[in-house]
Amino acid sequence: MNKNIAVIRGDGIGPEIVNEALAVLDTVGDIYGHTFNYTDVDMGGCAIDKWGEPLPDEMLEKCKNSDSVLLGAVGGKKWDTVPGHMRPEKGLLKLRAGMGVYSNNRPAKIWPQLADASPLRPSIVEQGIDFIIVRELIGGIYFGEHKTTEVNGEKQANDDMCYSESEIERIGRIGFETARKRGKKLCSVEKSNVLDTSRLWKSVMHRLAEEYPDVELSDMLVDNCAMQIVKNPAQFDVIVTENMFGDILSDEASMITGSIGMIPSSSLGSSTCGLYEPIHGSAPDIAGMDIANPIGTILSAAMMLRFSFDMSAEADAIEKAVYDVLEQGYRTADIMPGDEARCKKVGCHEMGQLIIKSLRGTKQ
């Protein structure tokens, strides 16, 4: 099978982790008889430096014309002082909107080898952490009007949150369909005791629930959900929520699993052309030092194979290779336990090579 992948290496550690993911994809292609063609795309701070904007239109077109997009990370302190509309993150928002990827899916699953890396008490971790946050991605306050004015001699800023019934319904259906394939439990998270958008969200979700009688729907206020994720994460199967709430909760969920460097994500819309990326940032302070964790990016590539290319066996093989390498005791710095005697610290490139070596051993 032939697939064209737009590759955004981005800033900071982005190029390092993406290079390891591409090496894994090339190994998959070699083993299973696929050809992956890569097209480089500039986005983020590197695009600002080269083109004067975070995502030029021609770069967006390359992404839209691909079969899917693999992204490392964008941003860094170097660009903190540029105008708001020019920040590297604006390129990411433009990319999501341009591709029409309205559903971001972030798993929060603890790998058994990393159980002791979780900041939660062992008695909580032992109950299990395995849920998915389905986040609406191209609506809400991030895409509303943003303005700063002067009123009575002082600056006043406004950021508008807006959702339509159709926007809520399409992400709600993703939540219900995802829950139907898992444990059939869906928690809808909002702030309906304060916000009109959340009251509309809640009403649409309950209307949709009538079409999914096999899925148990519950409602939870976002502040309570933030507490429950650290108090009793085992209660969750699928969480569906709006853009800003999902951004915050998914980062929180990633940390209870031991390391943000382990978590992949997918962003999909009405087509199979998706955006796949680890959920961590660009970490410019460790860029070029060969100590970044590439596993989140490698697992994002596995999600691409599974959800966009219908290559479940190949995705399973990558995930098994990651499991085996962790089982052998290899760790990057961010997942290295305090007791280093039982594990071996490796760098970014070596971790990628170890996964490739294990991957080649998974094909019978």
pLDDT confidence band for 311 (50 / 70 / 90): very high
Amino acid residing at 324: D
- Measuring CA to CA, how many Å separate 53 from each of 45, 83, 154, 179, 317? 8, 11, 30, 39, 39
Can you tell me the distance from the alpha carbon of 8 to that of 223, in angstroms, rounded to the nearest whole number?
34
Can you tell me the distance from the alpha carbon of 51 to that of 32, in angstroms, rounded to the nearest whole number?
38
User: What's residue 270's pLDDT?
Assistant: 87
Can you tell me the distance from the alpha carbon of 159 to that of 163, in angstroms, rounded to the nearest whole number?
13
- In tens, the pLDDT along 100-121 reads 999 999 999 988 888 888 899 9
- In tens, the pLDDT along 183-223 reads 999 999 999 999 999 999 999 999 999 999 999 999 999 99
Tokens of 196: 């009109």
Give mean pLDDT, residues 241-255.
94
CA angle, 146 then 224 then 261, to 5° = 70
- Measuring CA to CA, how many Å separate 91 from each of 47, 103, 149, 279, 355? 9, 18, 25, 16, 31
User: What's residue 346's pLDDT?
Assistant: 96
pLDDT confidence band for 164 (50 / 70 / 90): very high
Can you tell me the distance from the alpha carbon of 34 to that of 3, in angstroms, rounded to the nearest whole number?
8
Give mean pLDDT, residues 265-278.
93
Amino acid residing at 51: W
240 pLDDT exceeds 70?
yes
Residues with a known catalytic role: 142, 191, 223, 247, 251
β-strands 264-268, 68-73 pairing: unpaired
Q: Provide the phi-psi class of 283: left if phi over 0, else alpha when psi is between -120 and 50, else beta.
A: left
- In tens, the pLDDT along 32-72 reads 999 999 999 999 999 999 999 999 999 999 999 999 999 99
User: What's residue 104's pLDDT?
Assistant: 94
Domains and CATH numbers, the chain: 1-118+259-364 (3.40.718.10), 119-147+157-256 (3.40.718.10)
User: What's residue 202's pLDDT?
Assistant: 98
Can you tell me the distance from the alpha carbon of 248 to that of 229, in angstroms, rounded to the nearest whole number?
12
Give me the chain's average pLDDT, please: 94
> What b/e readout covers 193-229, taking b as 16+ CB neighbours within 10 angstroms?
eeeebbebbbebbeebbeebeebebeebbbeebbebb
Regarding predicted confidence, which is higher, 82 or 76? Answer: 76
User: What's residue 358's pLDDT?
Assistant: 97
User: What's residue 168's pLDDT?
Assistant: 98
Give mean pLDDT, residues 166-193.
96
- Measuring CA to CA, how many Å separate 16 from each of 25, 97, 196? 15, 26, 44
Can you tell me the distance from the alpha carbon of 8 to that of 10, in angstroms, rounded to the nearest whole number?
5
Q: What SS3 class is residue 264?
A: strand
Short-list 224, 296, 212, CA closest to 258 = 296
Specify the pTM. Answer: 0.85
pLDDT confidence band for 147 (50 / 70 / 90): very high
pLDDT confidence band for 339 (50 / 70 / 90): low
364 pLDDT exceeds 50?
no
- Measuring CA to CA, how many Å separate 201 from each of 140, 194, 280? 11, 12, 28
